[in-house]
Amino acid sequence: MLSFENTEIAFSSKTDKDLKRAQFLFKMIANNFLVNSGKYLSRFAMKLHLPVDWAVKPTIYSHFVGGESIEECIPNVRLLEQYNVKAILDYSIEGTETLEEINSAMDETLKTIHNAAGDNNIPFAVFKPTAFTIETVLEKVSAKEPLTESEKLEAENFKQRVEKLCQTAYDNDVPILIDAEDFAFQNFIDEVVDANMEKFNKKKAIVFNTYQMYRNDRLEVLEKAYKRAVKNGYYLGAKFVRGAYMEKERARAAEMGYPDPIHPDKESTDRAYNAAILFCIERIDRISIFNGTHNEYSSRYMTELMAEHGLKKDDPRCWFSQLYGMSDHISFNLADEGYNVAKYMPFGPVRSVLPYLIRRTEENTSISGQTSRELGLILKEMNRRKNGK
Ligand SMILES: Cc1cc2nc3c(=O)[nH]c(=O)nc-3n(C[C@H](O)[C@H](O)[C@H](O)COP(=O)(O)OP(=O)(O)OC[C@H]3O[C@@H](n4cnc5c(N)ncnc54)[C@H](O)[C@@H]3O)c2cc1C
């Protein structure tokens, strides 16, 4: 029986000093007052272009981020490799607006694809669609609103940029994950990703769409995507997450007066998530699954379904993934059992990854309960080492 309780395995890559730092960090994050003031101060410092690197880099940044560049991430990739844990380098720049910023994100993401092609321990590439166009275009196309001539051109440019990334991934045989972000952008993104799946997934899943299962329409969308894949003769790449923008989505729906797109409660999100995993395992001849979660049940559930369906633990169509710096007890124990596991390892200049870091602190406050789990495990391991067991 797979257990996530073994902290010796979970923290095998961590020195005593690493554990102490992680303990300190999660204690700080558990404090809602500190998180809120930290968020406010970092946004303020960013606006005024004040230096924040000195405070952020040695602490929260080095826990959750692989480094400023691909090269800086490599020692961390090599460390994970020793424990059969793979890595996905995620250029975590957010809020690109100018053509120069978009081109630079493009160059860096293309580099990650080429880098993955030459490294056995980096099984996927990844990108966020909002890095490759302006958000108003994604929003207007998704809502089927009329576009100006320059917006039409920008929508075309976006399609071409995504196609170039998928083509490069295909040419280098590196599967590529396309993250999901706001509800308001997703219709257009789904359309573009589906077209690329149809083009590049004829022999196996190279292009993966992301299904945020907190959305109440995603099971239906998944079923339709599957049917289209069967009908048009290609493989479906399906990355699953619960979804990271719940409060924002609910607030937008209330403000704009449309029905809340999110499931009414956590239980219904959980049910939809697990139903999606079941749906895919039952159709594994046509779907590759990327199970992106810190939820123990959803991770264990997939291992059980794989066994029931006679799949090998390292079936190349079945992947588990957690974010770098979180839930090592899931990643390292799964990897130790022989499953395919990859950590999402964000990288980029300190300033650009701040929004990502702020989301991680929010997710880890005492309210969400994640921190008490991380802290409890860290303390358990520190005690185990102290008592020499
Ligand atoms: C490898 C990886 C890649 C990721 N990529 C993306 C991505 O592309 N896009 C993205 O949006 N997120 C992404 N995330 C983040 C993810 O969406 C979740 O925010 C995060 O992982 C927490 O969900 P969980 O399944 O790990 O755990 P859990 O702690 O079991 O679930 C928490 C989640 O449940 C949902 N939830 C909580 N309360 C309620 C409620 N009252 N009603 C309805 N639903 C509720 C929310 O989605 C919340 O984040 C990624 C996460 C991982 C591990």
pLDDT for 138 equals: 96
338 shares a domain with 305:
yes
358 shares a domain with 343:
no
Q: 365 in a domain, yes or no? A: yes
Q: What are phi and psi of 66, to 5 degrees?
A: -75, -30
To which H or E segment does residue 240 belong?
strand 236-241
Q: 338 in a domain, yes or no? A: yes
287 shares a domain with 340:
yes
Q: 1 in a domain, yes or no? A: no
273 CA: nearest ligand 1 atom: 25
Q: 297 in a domain, yes or no? A: yes
Asked whether the predicted pLDDT for residue 13 surpasses 70, the reply is yes
Which token pair is 301?
């559930």
Contact present, 324 and 69 (Cβ < 8 Å):
no
pLDDT for 370 equals: 63
Place of tokens 């576009």: 147
Nearest to 181 by CA among 150, 138, 119, 226: 138
Give tens-digit pLDDT for 203-261.
Answer: 999 999 999 999 999 999 999 999 999 999 999 999 999 999 999 999 999 999 999 99
Q: 2 in a domain, yes or no? A: no
368 shares a domain with 281:
no
Asked whether the predicted pLDDT for residue 49 surpasses 60, the reply is yes
How far is Cα 303 from Cα 324, in angstroms, rounded to an integer?
21
Provide the 10 A C-beta neighbour count for residue 264. Answer: 9
Contact present, 363 and 370 (Cβ < 8 Å):
yes
Contact present, 69 and 112 (Cβ < 8 Å):
no
368 shares a domain with 328:
no
Mutate which of 126, 241, 327, 368 for ligand 1 pocket (most atoms within 8 A of beta carbon): 241
Q: Give 60's pLDDT tier (boundaries 50, 70, 90).
A: confident
268 CA: nearest ligand 1 atom: 43
Nearest to 273 by CA among 225, 309, 240: 240
Give tens-digit pLDDT for 97-107.
Answer: 899 999 999 99
286 shares a domain with 369:
no
Query: Is any atom of ligand 1 closer than 6 Å to the C-beta of 57?
Result: no
CA-CA-CA-CA torsion sign (193, 194, 200, 203): positive
152 CA → ligand 1 middle, Å: 33
Contact present, 297 and 327 (Cβ < 8 Å):
no
Give tens-digit pLDDT for 143-173.
Answer: 999 999 999 999 999 999 999 999 999 999 9
56 shares a domain with 135:
no
How far is Cα 109 from Cα 275, in angstroms, rounded to an integer?
32
pLDDT for 362 equals: 74
371 CA → ligand 1 middle, Å: 15
pLDDT for 354 equals: 82
51 CA → ligand 1 middle, Å: 31
Q: 78 in a domain, yes or no? A: yes
Q: 384 in a domain, yes or no? A: yes
Give tens-digit pLDDT for 112-137.
Answer: 999 999 999 999 999 999 999 999 99
343 CA: nearest ligand 1 atom: 1
Alpha helices in the chain (DSSP H): 7-10, 16-30, 32-47, 53-56, 62-64, 70-81, 99-117, 135-142, 149-171, 183-200, 218-232, 246-256, 266-281, 296-308, 328-336, 350-363, 370-386
367 shares a domain with 339:
no
313 shares a domain with 203:
yes
Q: Give 186's pLDDT tier (boundaries 50, 70, 90).
A: very high
Q: Give 51's pLDDT tier (boundaries 50, 70, 90).
A: low
320 shares a domain with 272:
yes
Query: Is any atom of ligand 1 closer than 6 Å to the C-beta of 263?
Result: yes
Percent with pLDDT over 90 in the chain? 79
342 shares a domain with 194:
yes
Give the structural domain span for 186.
Answer: 72-347
How far is Cα 70 from Cα 197, in angstroms, rounded to an integer?
27
Q: 83 in a domain, yes or no? A: yes
How far is Cα 367 from Cα 57, in angstroms, rounded to an integer?
25
338 shares a domain with 224:
yes
Mean pLDDT of the chain: 92
Half-sphere exposure of 381 (CA within 13 A, CB side): 26
Query: Is any atom of ligand 1 closer than 6 Å to the C-beta of 122?
Result: no
Report the CATH number that the domain containing residue 278 is assigned in CATH.
3.20.20.220
pLDDT for 73 equals: 98
The total domain count for the chain is 2
